[in-house]
């Protein structure tokens, strides 16, 4: 008996708005696209193909899962709508952050998932940075990786007690985190506007598109099959197998894992409705005088502060600064995105000369309403996993390894999140519009913090 999960491809409101971004901020306009090594040679799914496990979505989560399954000798097929890393995995700032968003700590995770599973999740995430760089070394992924540490500077002295508490919570889990004093934070960032910082030396930065392409190469070398330019347009249960239709072919699989993040296009509306799509805008400057590296991020760390509308920045290998962040309007002006984020960095670091943008691009991430990862059951032997929540690289890579262990024969006991049914938000089609109200409110709160 046929059990459809989706009866035809229907772009979401956000996808209709953002499907054709201005060419000056497209995937191809990014610094990562200009400098990353080529991805693997793949082909489009055509005709009918039989597989055991289908992973739909070729980003960090999909390829981490596929790679770890393939390494263990399991058959796995990846379907990617465009090319590996085309979505958020290839468009972010390139931070490997083994931590949670500001406002979420191990205590909050345990309150949500219980002490045992919450501890598992925090340990998994805390080890995510080391996992990312270990995979890069083991599979010789060329992505300009630097495991120099990730910092979260305090934008206001009022958060000092919160920082001390957060440090102690992560130390209790055995993590090698450090508290930086005000003077140390000023030195490490180059900005006298900071009042201390959280430092995890296991984090770092890299070319995110190069990394996900490297995972794809590694998965293929270990036996995974990858089809690109193969958007899944219909997913249904037929008898005891799953039928996945693309424009040019059909994949029949025993099991399915959906890892499409914010780009599912209505393939599983209930699971996609648990997420809020969020627009991000990134810029890379023209190369700067290398002498500036002595006063700005002198230890080549990456930094993302404690503002709700945070300021994040890092160096590239060729002396550019990369920064970016949120835009409330998915159709936001390309010029406004450039000037807004560059202007914030210029005010934070007044020792910089006038900055000129060489590359600009936009993308979108997805966040659950509680900013926690999820593993949802779509039907017999079919699941949807989401993990980005603004901490994509370390979180998704680590969750992919755990999901692969589970799919490869492990028990639910080892999973850091429970398997649940999808619980979409009320009126999920309006989720992206809700964020347009959330961001201005949080910018106002940031301004009040600074006044206080």
**Sorting pLDDT into bands at 50, 70 and 90, what band is 277?**
confident
Section 196-202 average pLDDT: 98
Section 281-289 average pLDDT: 96
Q: What is the mean pLDDT of the chain?
A: 88
Other C-beta atoms closer than 10 Å to the C-beta of 90 total 29
pLDDT tens per residue across span 388-411: 666 779 999 999 999 999 999 876
Residue 413 has pLDDT above 70, yes or no: no
Tokens 């059951």 belong to 377
**Sorting pLDDT into bands at 50, 70 and 90, what band is 167?**
very high
Give the residues across from 179 on adjacent strands.
198
Q: pTM for this structure? A: 0.91
Residue 422 has pLDDT above 80, yes or no: yes
What whole-number percentage of the chain has pLDDT above 70?
A: 86
Section 271-289 average pLDDT: 87
Across 102-116, 166-180, 362-376, the highest mean pLDDT is recorded for: 166-180
Section 144-162 average pLDDT: 97
Do 391 and 230 form a contact (C-beta atoms < 8 A)? no
pLDDT tens per residue across span 11-25: 444 444 444 455 567
pLDDT tens per residue across span 38-73: 999 999 999 999 999 999 999 999 999 999 999 999
Residue 362 has pLDDT above 90, yes or no: no
CA dihedral 40, 397, 257, 418 (to 10 degrees): 180
What whole-number percentage of the chain has pLDDT above 90?
A: 71
**Sorting pLDDT into bands at 50, 70 and 90, what band is 372?**
confident
Q: How far apart are CA 366 and CA 440, in angstroms?
A: 18
pLDDT tens per residue across span 305-327: 999 889 999 999 999 999 998 76
Q: Where are the beta strands (DSSP E) in 109-261?
A: 150-153, 178-180, 197-200, 204-205, 225-227, 234-238, 241-245, 249-258
Residue 452 has pLDDT above 80, yes or no: no
pLDDT tens per residue across span 81-109: 999 999 989 999 999 999 988 778 999 99
Residue 200 has pLDDT above 60, yes or no: yes
Section 250-269 average pLDDT: 87
- pLDDT for 13: 44
Section 177-202 average pLDDT: 98
Q: Which residue has the higher pLDDT, 300 or 426?
A: 300
Chain mean position to CA 337: 20
* 3-state percent helix, strand, coil for the chain, nearest multiple of 5: 35, 25, 40
- pLDDT for 245: 97
Long-range contacts of 335-340 (CB under 8 A, 24+ apart): 337/25, 337/281, 337/283, 337/362, 338/283, 340/281
- pLDDT for 9: 42
Section 341-354 average pLDDT: 96
Other C-beta atoms closer than 10 Å to the C-beta of 441 total 9
In CATH, what number does 2-451 get?
3.50.50.60
């Amino acid at each position: 008996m046929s059990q459809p999960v989706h009866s035809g491809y229907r772009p979401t409101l956000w996808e209709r708005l953002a499907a054709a971004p201005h060419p000056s901020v497209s995937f191809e306009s990014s610094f990562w696209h200009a400098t990353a090594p080529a991805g693997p040679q793949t082909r489009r799914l055509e005709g009918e193909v039989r597989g055991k496990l289908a992973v739909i979505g070729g980003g960090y989560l999909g390829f981490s899962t596929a790679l770890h399954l393939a390494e263990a000798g399991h058959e796995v097929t990846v379907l990617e709508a465009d090319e590996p890393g085309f979505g958020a995995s290839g468009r972010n700032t390139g931070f490997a952050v083994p931590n949670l968003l500001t406002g979420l700590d191990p205590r909050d995770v345990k309150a949500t998932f219980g002490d045992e599973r919450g501890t598992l999740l925090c340990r998994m995430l805390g080890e995510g940075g080391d996992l990312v760089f270990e995979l890069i070394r083991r599979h010789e992924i060329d992505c300009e990786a630097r495991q120099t540490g990730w910092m979260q500077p305090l934008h206001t002295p009022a958060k000092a007690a919160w920082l001390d508490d957060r440090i102690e919570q992560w130390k209790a889990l055995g993590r090698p985190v450090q508290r930086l004093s005000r003077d140390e934070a000023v030195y490490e960032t180059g900005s006298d506007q900071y009042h201390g910082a959280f430092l995890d030396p296991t984090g770092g930065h890299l070319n995110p598109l190069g990394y996900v392409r490297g995972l794809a190469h590694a998965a293929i070398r270990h036996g995974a099959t990858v089809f690109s330019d193969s958007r899944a347009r219909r997913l249904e249960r037929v008898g005891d197998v799953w039928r996945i239709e693309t424009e040019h072919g059909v994949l029949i699989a025993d099991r399915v894992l959906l890892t499409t993040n914010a780009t599912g296009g209505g393939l599983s509306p209930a699971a996609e409705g648990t997420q809020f799509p969020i627009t991000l805008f990134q810029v890379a400057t023209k190369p700067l005088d290398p002498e500036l590296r002595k006063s700005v991020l002198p230890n080549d760390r990456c930094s993302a502060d404690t503002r709700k509308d945070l300021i994040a920045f890092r160096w590239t290998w060729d002396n550019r600064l990369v920064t970016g962040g949120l835009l409330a309007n998915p159709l936001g002006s390309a010029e406004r995105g450039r000037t807004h984020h560059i202007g914030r960095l210029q005010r934070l670091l007044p020792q910089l000369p006038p900055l000129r943008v060489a590359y600009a691009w936009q993308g979108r991430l997805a966040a659950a309403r509680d900013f926690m990862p999820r593993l949802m059951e779509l039907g017999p032997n079919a699941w949807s996993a989401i993990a980005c929540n603004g901490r994509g690289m370390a979180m998704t890579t680590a969750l992919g390894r755990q999901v692969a262990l589970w799919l490869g024969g492990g028990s639910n006991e080892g999973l850091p999140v429970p398997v649940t049914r999808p619980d979409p938000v009320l009126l999920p089609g309006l989720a992206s519009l809700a964020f347009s109200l959330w961001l201005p409110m949080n910018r106002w709160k940031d301004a009040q913090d600074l006044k206080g």
